[in-house]
Structure 1
Amino acid sequence: MKLFIYDHCPYCVKARMIFGLKDLPVRLVTLLSDDETTPISMIGKKMAPILQKDDGSYMPESMDIVHYVDNLDGNPVLTGNTNPAISLWVEHASSYTNKLLLPRFANADFEEFATDSARQYFTHKKQATLGDFATLLADSADLIEQLEDDLQKLSALIQSPEAVNGSLSLDDIHLFPLLRSLSIVAGVTLPDNVEAYRNRMAQRCDIPLLFDMEQ
């Protein structure tokens, strides 16, 4: 199978996770950010991730891919209970963390930004929504302080470095991609158990963190 992705994209990370957690091979193909033709030819619109199944057909939507791959062999791994508090935490943190993440993504060495036009495409589209990236980077301190306060609250919810609720569940699929994205933000102090969870999940999923791209 092939998985078409953007490396920075948390939805793509969700789809990548299930292959790592189940130790299944997959060929990763990184799309250029400004390549509209390829995804539209596959699924009729520009989005990622896109799974190309063994029969050649295409499947979009990260969670559809997760459920499909997890149940392929009849032995799913995402069987643990979920905790509504985790979903609420992810929703709350996601309401402001793009202001920290997207300006840093735009400056980082991701394969989807291998050309100037691809980087400019991403920057133009995201600045139209969030505002000037240089201004957001300069104003990061207050958001980092807020994030560190919220990470302390997350710390009280993590039961194990192996899985946020003790056994693998959909909560891990939603939480780890955000924590992985946040590893690009220099100067953020994580509680010990949050850092241990993030590091262990990166190892289990075979998805590197982004420390090398810190801005």
Structure 2
Amino acid sequence: MKLYIYDHCPFCVKARMIFGLKNLPVELIIMRNDDEETPTMLIGQKMVPILQKNDGSVMPESLDIVRFIDKSDGKPLLIGKTNPEINAWLAHVNSYINKLLFPCFAKASFVEFANPEARDYFRRKKEASAGNFFDLERQKIHLIKNISNDLKQLDKIIVKPNAVNSELSEDDIHLFPLLRSLTLVASIDWPNRVAEYRDNMAVLTQINLLFNSINSNEKPS
């Protein structure tokens, strides 16, 4: 199977997680961020992740991919109950976090930004939805303070370092990608339980964290 992704994309991380958790092989294809032709050819629009199955059929939507792969061998891993507190925490953080993350993504050394045109494409698209990156950078200190405080609240909710609710569930699929993205941002205050969970999930899912991924030609985030 092939999984078409961007490395920075949290939705793509969701799809990647289930392959790592189940130790299943998958060929990762990282597209350029300005490549509209490939995803449009596969599913009729520019969207990731996209799973191409062994029979050649394709499937978009990260959670659909996660659920399909998890159940494909008859031995699902994501059987734990979800926690409304996790959902509420994510909803709150997701209301502002892209203002912090998008400018950091735009400066990082991701394969999808290998050429200037792809990096500029990302910047134009995200500035249209989140605001001018220069203006967002001026909010960085405030945003880092916000997420550091919110991580302290998350620290109280985490039950175990290998599953946020003690047993693997879709809450883990939603939570880890955000924490992974935040490893791109310097100066965040990581509480102990959150950091332990973040690091353990990186090992279990076989997905690298993003510390030290800022482009050497850019100022650190």
For the pair 1:196 / 2:196, whether they are aligned, the reply is yes
Instruction: Give the gaps of 5 or more residues in structure 1.
Output: none
Distance 1:5 1:212 in 2: 21
TM-score normalized with structure 2 length:
0.96
User: How far does the alpha carbon of each residue in 1:101-123 deviate from its partner, in whole angstroms, 9 at most, with x for none?
Assistant: 00010011101111111111110
Cα distance, 1:212 vs. partner?
1.6
For the pair 1:178 / 2:168, whether they are aligned, the reply is no
4+ runs deviating over 2 angstroms: none
Percent sequence identity is: 56
Distance 1:103 1:195 in 2: 23
Cα distance, 1:136 vs. partner?
1.4
Letter in 1 for 2:18: I
Structure that is richer in helix per residue: 1
Q: Which residue of 1 aligns with 2:211?
A: 211
Instruction: Give the gaps of 5 or more residues in structure 2.
Output: 215-219
Distance 2:24 2:131 in 1: 40
Distance 1:52 1:157 in 2: 36
Distance 1:10 1:30 in 2: 14
Q: Which residue of 2 aligns with 1:39?
A: 39
Distance 2:19 2:125 in 1: 30
Cα distance, 1:139 vs. partner?
2.1
Alignment RMSD, CA only?
0.7
Q: Which residue of 2 aligns with 1:99?
A: 99
TM-score normalized with structure 1 length:
0.98
Q: Which residue of 1 aligns with 2:20?
A: 20
Cα distance, 1:148 vs. partner?
1.0
Q: Which residue of 1 aligns with 2:153?
A: 153
Distance 2:199 2:134 in 1: 30
Counterpart mapping for 1:72-111 below 5 A = 72-111=72-111
Letter in 2 for 1:39: P
